[in-house]
Amino acid sequence: RYQQISSETATADTALVSAVQGNIEQSKKWSPTQKEKTVERYLSLSAQALEGEEKPEFMVWPETALPFYPAREPLMNRVRTFVRKNEIHLLTGSPYFTVSPENKKPVTYSNSALLLNQEGRLSARYNKQHLVPFGEYVPLRTYLWFIKPLVELIGDFTPGDSFEPLDADTIQAGVLICFESIFPDIARRETVKGANLLVNLTNDAWYGESSAPHHSWAMTVFRAVENRRSLVRSANTGISGFINPTGEIQKESPLFKAQAINARTPLLTVHTVFMHGGYRFGVLCLALIPFLLYLSVLKQQKTITTERSR
């Protein structure tokens, strides 16, 4: 199977993709006085990524790279202008809100990935589904009402529910935000829906110099292998990089370094057993254990009976 996937990867359509790593300190990330500097850094790094002989057609910024709600922020015009001028698709993390007066919650907030098309317009959005308890929402709110004031400043997001890939012409992006990359089912469902590239946007600055960023990066490899899709990861402070459909790391960045890395990324559309079977094989194996134990006992009893009859 490895040889087959390697062969298909070598002949597959490709796209030149850029992963931008801003390396914004967590202590400064949400400061109103720093948001302009943050945007300037991402635009500068993105411009560097476009300086080569080949220009990336798809660019990825990390989770909440835009530290503001784009609908109300004049700085968003600079981002749109950059995208339009360079005719690229930009996928960036950002908080987002939706106004729905007819709903019980007239305003809902989400941790989102926004796709800007080559005209600089918002063409698609993915809302994070697996939210962080007490960081992005309060579980059992009715019973833990006293905790709400402690997390209001962090966020009270509404989870998304769509597995549809984001359409960027040749790229159909299945998005994973933050630790969603450790959950197999989201990537699997997105791939079944037609994703030919998995994209992980994350901010691992919370973990500092611990081993957590390395663990998170290592677990992301499994999503590429399970679905036989290339995976690009853009992390605020690292590790950012590219993984091919066989699980091999094409490129990766060091931690705590502002940079942009480009890679020509294979776009496979093959189907895997895991894509369609999910966890059924594992459940089947568990279900067979009692039956196999029963057969083992019968065999042992038969052996004992045979020996006694001699």
CA neighbor of 183 nearest in space, from 157, 163, 208: 163
Is 63 tagged catalytic? yes
Catalytic residue among 57, 136, 178, 226: 178
Beta strands in 122-213 (DSSP E): 122-127, 166-168, 171-177, 197-202
Instruction: Choose the catalytic residue: 35, 85, 104, 128.
Output: 128
Q: Which long-range contacts (CB under 8 A, 24 or more apart) does 34-42 make?
A: 34/67, 35/67, 35/68, 35/73, 35/75, 36/75, 38/65, 38/66, 38/67, 39/66, 39/75, 39/78, 39/79, 41/258
Indicate if 285 belongs to the active site.
Answer: no
Residue 178 is among the residues annotated as catalytic for this protein: yes
Dihedral sign computed on CA atoms, order 226, 232, 234, 237? positive
Cβ-contact 274, 227 below 8 angstroms: yes
**Are 96 and 162 contacting, i.e. CB atoms less than 8 angstroms apart?**
no
Task: State the catalytic residue, choosing from 8, 25, 57, 63.
Answer: 63
Active site residues per annotation: 63, 128, 178
